[in-house]
Amino acid sequence: MKVLFDMVDTPHVHFFKQLIWLLQDHGHEVLVTAREKDVTINLLKTYKINYICISKKGTGLIGLAWELFTRNLKLINIVRKFKPDVMLAKNGGASIGPVGFLMRVPRLVLEDTEHAKLQRMIGLPFMTKIMTGTGYLHDHGKRQRRFKGVWPQSYLAPRFFTPDPDKLRQYDIDPDQPYIILRTVAWEAAHDVGHKGVDLQTLTEVVNGLSKFGRVIICSEKPLPAELAQFQNPVPVEDVHHLLAFATLYIGEGASMAAEAAVLGTPAIYCNPLPLGYVKAMADDYQLITIADDFQHALIIADQQLTDPDFHSQYQQRSQAFIDQSDDLTDFMLETIKQVVKPDVTDK
C-alpha cells in the first residue's frame, strides 16, 4: 500500500509520525508532501521521514492563496508519479481534498479546528472520511468517524512516549525544580486574520508575576525581544514534550500545546479568543484546561492554582481518567484507512 501524508504545520509531523512508522514497519510505502513553515522540515529530517517540500508559507491572504494554488499543482504531479492508495491530512485538507477528488484517490482528514473556515470550505466537501475527536462541534453525516480523545494522544499516549528528565538536564533545565511554560504564537495562519497576540508590556508583566513560582520559559513562534531573551526556551522542538511533561504549569495562546500539556498531566491555561471544540470539552467536561480571557486573567488563575497545595495531584487524577477513557488514535486511523482502501491493497 502507498500512503501520502500532506503536512502544512509542525504539529502535523508529531501527529502522524507514529502512524507513519507503523505503516513502514508493516512494509507499506509512505511519502510526505511538506510545507516550509516554522521547523516542520527540520523535524521531518530529525525523524528521518521521507518528504518532498512543495511550498513555503505565504504572507497575507493573497500570498496564502497563491501558495495553495501552486502547492496543489505540484501535488497533482506527485500523485501521478507516486500513485498513492490513500491520502491523509489534518485540519481542512485544502490540498488533498480537491487534488484527491480530481485524481480519484481516497482522502482522510482529522478535523478539530472549527474556526479555520477557509481551509474547511476548500477541503472538507471533497473528503472521503472526516475523523473527529472529543468535543468537536460539527456534524458531517455519514462521512464522519468519531473517536474518544484528542489528537495529541496519537503521539503522547503512554505506549509511545515516556518523559525523560535527562532530555532537560542537557539544556540546563532541572526537572525537579518548578518551572512554567509560556507559549506565544505568530498569528499568521489564514484563520488568524483579524487577531493579534499578547503585547510586550503584558507579557513582561506576566513573566514578572510568575517568576515568584519558579523559572519562566517562553516558547515563541517569533524571536523574542531583547528584554525577554533570557527566558527563551533552550529545548529543541523534538524534545519539547519532555519539557511539557515536567512543567509546573502551561500558559499560552497555542491550543495544541495546551492539549499536549493536559494529556501529560501538566495543568494548562489557554489564552486565545478563537473557539475550539476540543479545548472547550477539556475545560468544561474534564477540567483539564482553564480558559482565560487574556494573559492578565491567566496570571490571576495561575496564582490561584499554584498556591493550592492539592491542585496538582487532583489535576493528575483527572488527566489519567481522561486517558483511560480515550481510544487508541493510531489504531483508529489504521481502521479508517482500511475502510476506504481496497482490501487487496491494505494486505500488501
Q: Dump pLDDT digits (tens) for 108-151.
A: 999 998 877 888 889 899 999 999 999 999 999 999 999 999 99
45 and 38 in contact (C-beta within 8 Å)? no
**Is 159 within the bounds of a domain?**
no
pLDDT at 230: 95
| Predicted confidence (pLDDT) at residue 195 exceeds the cutoff of 70 | no
| Predicted confidence (pLDDT) at residue 192 exceeds the cutoff of 70 | no
> Are residues 189 and 98 part of one domain?
no
Element (H, E) at 6: strand 2-7
> Are residues 178 and 128 part of one domain?
no
> Are residues 238 and 180 part of one domain?
yes
Number of helices and strands in the chain (H, E): 15, 12
DSSP conformation letters of 181-211 = EEEE----SGGGTT-----HHHHHHHHHHHG
pLDDT at 345: 67
**Is 155 within the bounds of a domain?**
no
> Are residues 214 and 74 part of one domain?
no
Phi, then psi, of 184 in degrees rounded to 5:
-120, 145
> Are residues 94 and 175 part of one domain?
no
- pTM, full prediction: 0.88
| Predicted confidence (pLDDT) at residue 188 exceeds the cutoff of 50 | no
pLDDT at 79: 97
> Are residues 83 and 194 part of one domain?
no
CATH number of the domain that residue 287 is part of: 3.40.50.2000
> Are residues 315 and 210 part of one domain?
yes
> Are residues 203 and 144 part of one domain?
no
| Predicted confidence (pLDDT) at residue 191 exceeds the cutoff of 50 | no
pLDDT at 60: 81
Least confident of 6-10, 38-42, 174-178: 38-42
**Is 170 within the bounds of a domain?**
yes
> Are residues 58 and 200 part of one domain?
no
CA distance 272 to 294: 7
pLDDT at 193: 38
Q: With the CA atoms of 67, 88, 119 and 122 taken in that order, what torsion angle do they form, in degrees rounded to the nearest 10?
A: 90
Mean of pLDDT values over 296-305:
96
Range(s) of the domain holding residue 109: 2-148+327-346
Q: What is the mean pLDDT of the chain?
A: 91
**Is 157 within the bounds of a domain?**
no
pLDDT at 344: 66
**Is 161 within the bounds of a domain?**
no
Mean of pLDDT values over 273-302:
93
**Is 207 within the bounds of a domain?**
yes
**Is 100 within the bounds of a domain?**
yes
DSSP one-letter code for 55: E
* Residue 26, C-alpha cell as written in the block: 508493516
Nearest-5° angle of CA 151, CA 154, CA 155? 120
> Are residues 247 and 179 part of one domain?
yes
CA distance 223 to 336: 40
> Are residues 246 and 143 part of one domain?
no
- Report residue 92's pLDDT band, with 50, 70 and 90 as the boundaries: confident
> Are residues 178 and 313 part of one domain?
yes
Bridge partners for 33 per DSSP: 6, 52
Instruction: Report the domain count for the chain.
Output: 2
**Is 209 within the bounds of a domain?**
yes
